[in-house]
Structure formats: structure tokens, C-alpha cells
Structure 1
Amino acid sequence: MAEVTQPNSTFPRPTFFLLTGIPGLGSAQGWLTLIFGPMYLLALLGNGALLAVVRIDASLHQPMFLLLSMLAATDVGLATSIAPGLLAVLCLGPRPIPYAACLAQMFFVHALTAMESGVLLAMACDRAVAVGRPLHYPILVTKTRVGYVALALVLKAVVIVVPFPLLVARFGHFRSKTIRHAYCAHMAVVELVVGNTRANNLYGLALSLAVSGLDILGITGSYALIAHAVLRLPTREARAKAFGTCSSHICVILAFYVPGLFSYLTHRFGRHSVPKSVHILLSNIYLLLPPSLNPLIYGIRTKQIRDRLLEIFTSRKHKL
């Protein structure tokens, strides 16, 4: 289905692009649905269950669990922004995506990624206050302030990511209509445009460093404060309990940033030594792994949620 292009041929702005999935894998792409399909299903069911539990249990209407709900909603949106199209490409082969839909997908993928990073920072700050100033926690961290944080994170994600589709939309000609990727990633589309893409490249790099870099610094600072407060506690049991309240969040942070950092480093520094198929595979894993793991981590390691889920399933079993 991909068009045959001459070395110096160009196209006016296309009405659609053609997503190829993961180039170089051929028919083996279909087997990846056995990995990405369950990951997407787990992201939907797991995060949906978390949202439902927090919604119906009034005792969980606390700032920590409201932030967890924010993370779960972001995970559902992030996974849904790429998984249906990804699975369609892997099962059916290259598929067209309208130009406007491509720009919309580009916006939502990058905005929700920025949103997820921001929520993880907010959760780290929440834990820092809970451990460092437990007596003042109910006064400093309220449901109203969590609502303001949620609004600020949404506005930030929109403002910083809107330039991505706008910077692409200014180009009127493209070298090809075929995107060698599984979704409309910003740089994958920029590779096709005819013109000076310096602004796109610089903004993409600046945004990656500013958003992830600043959020990681904030998370590191929050956990430095947590460690300082925990080490001042008088007993080993108290220190273990304090660290235990942060363990789930630490696992979620690692699940989000480690694959992302690995994907970023291989893209920036291993562009010529690492096959393109590996770059694309890593980028998809980076976007789908955290949404599928986060509900498992919080469902298993957070006692209130675990107990509530067991109570719901046990009561339904008795009714049956």
C-alpha cells in the first residue's frame, strides 16, 4: 500500500498518512498483538477498577487516592490514544489515518505523557508532606487543592504540547505519506516534511528535557525530604512503616521513567547502531507498560484498595 517515491519527489499536504507499524518485522508483527493486546486490556480493566473503587468508597475520598484516580484516568487515556490503532496495524497491516486525526493523536499522546509525569511529581510531593509533616498534612493537602493541582496539570500539558501539531501544520509539502511508525509521533511525522525543521527538533528536545527533567528533579527532591524525615524517626518499625507508604509510588515511578529513559537514550545516541524497529518497539512499550502495571502495583501494595477489592469480589461471590 505504500507509495513509490522518486528520490527528490514531494507531495502537497496529504489528506491522510499511512502508518506501517514496526518496520522490519514483516508478518511477525501479528504476534506482538499477544503482548500489546493483554497490556491494553489490563490497562482498561485495572485502571477502571481503581477508578470505580475510589468512586464508590467514601473512605477513599482522600487526597492520596484522588491523585491515584488522576493517574488511573491518565493511564486509560494514554493507552487508548495508541493501542487501538497499534493493534489494527499489527493485525491488518499498514492503515491510513486522516491528516487531522494524525495531528490529534500526536497531541494527545504527548499531552497525556506530560500529564502522567506531572501527576507522579504531585504524588511525590503529597508523600513528602505526609511523611515530613504528618500533623499538618490534613491542613496543607486538601481535596480542593488537589483539584487545583489537577487543573494546573491539564492546562500545563495542553499549553506545552499544542505547539507540536502547530509546528507540523505549517508545512505544506511532504517527502512521503508513509509514516514508519505505529502511531503519529511528532518526530516520525517531522521526518517526512519538506522544509526547515530546526524549530521542531529544538522544541522537541527542549520539551523532553524541561518536562521530564524538571519533574524528575522535583521527585528526587521530594524523596530526599522523605528520606531525611524517615531517618529521624526513633524506631526501625516507624521508619519501615513510613517507607512503606511510598513503596507503591516508587515502583510506579520506575515503571514510567526507566523504559522512557531507555527509549530516549537509544533514540538519541543509538540512532545508527540500534535498528529502527527496536526504537519503535521501545516507544510503544514505554507508553503501554506503565498503564498496565500501575493498577497491579497499587492494587497489590496499597492495603485500603486491596481490602476494598477483596471485599467487593467476596460479596459478589456470596451473592452468586
Structure 2
Amino acid sequence: MKPAPLSYARPSSLEQAVTLLAANDGNARILAGGQSLMPMLAFRLAQPALLVDINRIPGADAITCDAQGVQVGPSVRHADLLRQAQAGGHPLLAAALPLVAHSGVRNRGTVCGSLALADPAAELPACAIALDARLKLLSVRGTRWVEADAFFRGIYDTDLAEDEMIAAVVFPHAAPGWRWTCQEVARRHGDFAMAGLAAGLRCDSGRITAARLVAFGVGERPLRLCAAEQALCDGVPLDGVADAVATLDQADISGTPDYPAPYRRGLLATLLQRVVAGLTNEDTA
């Protein structure tokens, strides 16, 4: 298949990019990594009138660190952020990014592109919610910041307006005392997750004092497991895990013909037990 006829623009600034978006009344698309967009164009699932290529914009591929966290520009690749996370001690991103597809996709695909796509089986939207990340949305009307939990609405559905682009995302630093990980179950490495879990725990004297659990691949958007978080903090880790697993019976988990909801619920229970065992063992290692 070949894309439908379209025009191409390569702006020299983010301001020029959003001006082009506004001028095309929702019929333009941002091209950064293109790992999802290009196949959609090839199959004519997307037929924009204009592609706005941001790859040559100075500074769009910057990763900066300050007191607020790690700020990621709109053309930063997964592989670039992975190297930064491994070197800079950001454990959740360091655990999640190797799970993103395959090396070729990570070398071209962008962090902000993954967030904008909002695939419910993707790792980064769940990580963004778990970390309370903030997204900087830019348009000709100005800039606004949106919390990750409010940004994701449903399957491929976000708070991003047609004339906006993600100009940056800020992942807060891991707070002292927290341990983080990301695990998933897939048929093969690099396949979409049948169920996954981005998780953080804070432990003190062998007890879990705080938890953050966000499931992905089990619903229309990343799912915060608030009841399981509370159950983990109500007792010693062993008892807390059993109580947390029990709360999954009430979680809003959806299924497909291949992966029914009870099956995904079981996968999530296994992941929850693995995550808690691994993170609490660090306390005694």
C-alpha cells in the first residue's frame, strides 16, 4: 500500500510546527519517529493533508534534568531516554523502556509520540501516570500543562487538541526510599503486552508504607490500582499481597476473545506478586 497524496513541511521551530497544525484545521499530523504513523499512512488508516516533520528542529531532541525531573523533548527517541535513565538512576524508566517493542523501534520511535498515540498496551503511558508526569501541550493559543492521569482518556484518545502537539514531558525524579519496576507478560519479547504493571513501593523496616500500581494492556487506558495500593500498605508484605490480589476481582479489567478478562486478571495477579517480592527483597538484600 502507498499513502494517499499529501504535502510535507519541515519547520525550523516548534512555533512554526503548531502554526502549520492550526492552518490545516485538524488535517495535519506531526512526524517524529513515525513508528506508528507511517504504517497507518501506508494502509491509509490515516490520510492527513500535511505531514509536519519536527526532526530537524533545534533542541527538540533534548533531555534536560533539573530539580523538577527529567524533561524530554518531542523528538527524543526511546533509546536516548533509556541511556539517560540507566545513567541517571531513573529506575522505572530504565525498567520499562527495554520492554518497548524491539531495538529498531526504540532507535526511531519517540517518547512523546508513544504518549500521544495512547496505545492501552504501551508501557510509557502507564509509567507517566505512575510517576505523576506532566505533559507540556503547545499550540498557537499558547502553552498548557496537563497531568498524565488527566491526559489519557481511552483507546488512542487523549486530551490533545487537533491544533496541539506535545512539546515536552517531565518525569519527576524517584523520591527517596522508593523502589520502582515495570513488568509485563507478552507472547514474545517485543509483542504488545497481554498485561503489564508499572509499580513503585516505599518500604520501611520490612513494611510497605506507600505503593503506586498502574496496570496496562488490561483496559482502554492505563488503570491505577488504588485498592491494591491501599491493601499493600495495610499489613506486612505477605499478607498485603494476598489482600491486594483479592482487590483485582473488582478492578475494571476488560478482555478480548484471545485474552478474556479473567485470564488477564490472573496475569495481573501474578505480576503483582512478582513485583512485590522483587521490590521488598531489595529491603533485605
| TM-score bracket for the superposition, by shorter chain length | under 0.3
> Of Structure 1 and Structure 2, which has the larger fraction of its residues in strand?
2
The answer to which structure, 1 or 2, has the higher relative contact order (CA under 8 A, 6+ apart) is 1
* TM-score, structure 1 as length reference: 0.23
> Of Structure 1 and Structure 2, which has the larger fraction of its residues in helix?
1
